[in-house]
Amino acid sequence: MSAPDAAAHTALPVLNLTDFTQGDAQHRATFVQRLRDVAHGVGFFYLSGYGAAPGQVDAVFNATRDFFALPAAQKEALRMVNSPHFRGYTRAGDEITRGERDWREQIDIGAEREAIAPTPGLPSWLRLQGPNQWPDSLPQFKTTLLQWQDTLTHAGRDLLRALALALGQPENCFDAAFAHAPVQHLKVIRYPGRSQDTSQQGVGAHKDGGCLTLLLQHERAGLQVLDRNAAHERWIDVPPLPGTLVINLGEVLEVQSGGYLRANIHRVVSPPQDADRLSVAFFLSPQLDAELPLLPLPPALAAQAHGVDRDPQNPLISHTGRNLLKGRLRSHPDVALRHHADVLAAHGIAPNAAPAAYA
């Protein structure tokens, strides 16, 4: 994979969420200040004290290993192309980032909600809501992953309250948009090893949609974040750190803060040929109908805002449902063509385009 510079081994900061949720006024203020600094800067950090129950992380990775060890036919029965809600299994090479195939297999899981019956005039982004596909042979997989989703939703809401204070807003600024039916999206991922003479794109360089990403990494490194503050852009390695999540901010927060908060570019490099890598990514976004307004930042913060990145290949949209549907249509062309051909043109996608056009 090409890179702006050689990967750097710079450690990102570690923040402890209990300093905010359980600390006194001084601990809370220190947490908010550190959060402001990193969210305005590189936009990535480690988070400890996020509320996992004893043994919960081990249970998540045991369930992950069990799923990917299933016979291919059982995983194929859960292919995402069966789901108009973009839920289910994706083989390595079937998801696209910037015109190149990502080399990871995964299962996408969302909030377990009923699909909304299609009616004339219904917004297309409401199609994102619906049930998941689960492996019948692993009943504990569903229980374990939905419990993990709940744990991270709670942590994400606490983190958003701290971010509100960091932006000079009331602590409950984001509460209403996440109170009833926030978008909860898990990607349970395995990156197979690849030889050095092939593409090393586990997942290509991209920003995340939505508001927050809370990533659980297993034992092998591979995640890198782009350091755009260095004299020459470089990739920072983000290796696993026991007891922590990796947190990064999504496009909605960048738009809402006028670019003061940074939804930074990141990628995953494939592991060596004789190894694999596991991770579980959780994306928390407001409810689908939310359109978060531009926040009135204090003058001192507004003066430091970077401005919102404008990428012709990835236009940012402040409306949650429209922004998330845009991303799914481009990343999963097989699902888009089978279930959403009627709305592709509205999202700037030619219905007869080759997969590379969905970058």
Question: Quick one: tokens of 98?
Answer: 């910037």
Residues 125 and 321: their CA atoms lie apart, in Å, by 5
H/E run at residue 213: strand 212-217
Report the pLDDT value the prediction gives residue 326, as an integer from 0 to 100. Answer: 85
Q: Which one, of 52, 107, 99, lies nearest residue 76 by Cα?
A: 107
CA angle 207, 65, 239 (to 5 degrees): 45
CA angle 280, 281, 287 (to 5 degrees): 135
Backbone angles phi, psi at 352, to 5 degrees: -105, 20
pLDDT tens per residue, the chain (359 residues)? 444 444 444 579 999 999 999 999 999 999 999 999 999 999 999 999 999 999 999 999 999 999 999 999 999 999 999 999 999 999 998 887 877 889 999 999 999 999 998 888 889 999 999 999 999 999 999 999 999 999 999 999 999 999 999 999 999 999 999 988 999 999 999 999 998 888 899 999 988 888 999 999 999 999 999 987 766 788 999 999 999 999 999 988 998 999 999 899 999 999 999 999 999 999 999 999 988 889 999 999 999 998 887 766 666 677 888 888 988 888 888 899 999 998 888 777 766 543 433 33
**pTM of the full predicted structure?**
0.92
Q: Which one, of 53, 319, 20, lies nearest residue 177 by Cα?
A: 319
Report the pLDDT value the prediction gives residue 355, as an integer from 0 to 100. Answer: 44
Residues 265 and 229: their CA atoms lie apart, in Å, by 12
Contacts of 318 (CB under 8 A, 6+ apart): 252, 255, 256, 291, 292, 293, 294
Q: Domains of the chain (ranges plus CATH)?
A: 14-358 (2.60.120.330)
Report the pLDDT value the prediction gives residue 6, as an integer from 0 to 100. Answer: 41
Sequence-ordered strand ranges (E) for 250-328: 266-269, 276-285
β-sheet with 105-110: strand ranges across: 14-16, 44-48, 245-249, 212-217, 276-285, 183-192, 105-110, 88-90
Residues 144 and 150: their CA atoms lie apart, in Å, by 10
Report the pLDDT value the prediction gives residue 333, as an integer from 0 to 100. Answer: 86
Q: Which one, of 284, 222, 201, 288, lies nearest residue 247 by Cα?
A: 284
Q: Which one, of 210, 156, 163, lies nearest residue 36 by Cα?
A: 163
Report the pLDDT value the prediction gives residue 311, as an integer from 0 to 100. Answer: 66
Report the pLDDT value the prediction gives residue 239, as an integer from 0 to 100. Answer: 96
Report the pLDDT value the prediction gives residue 100, as an integer from 0 to 100. Answer: 83
Report the pLDDT value the prediction gives residue 4, as an integer from 0 to 100. Answer: 45
Report the pLDDT value the prediction gives residue 141, as an integer from 0 to 100. Answer: 98
| Spacing of C-alpha 171 from chain mean position | 23
Report the pLDDT value the prediction gives residue 312, as an integer from 0 to 100. Answer: 63
CA angle 113, 117, 123 (to 5 degrees): 95
Q: What one-letter code names the amino acid at 310?
A: R
Alpha carbon separation from 28 to 12, 47, 161, 212, 262 (Å, rounded): 20, 15, 11, 20, 22
Report the pLDDT value the prediction gives residue 230, as an integer from 0 to 100. Answer: 64
Alpha carbon separation from 301 to 37, 171, 241, 305, 306 (Å, rounded): 11, 17, 31, 7, 10
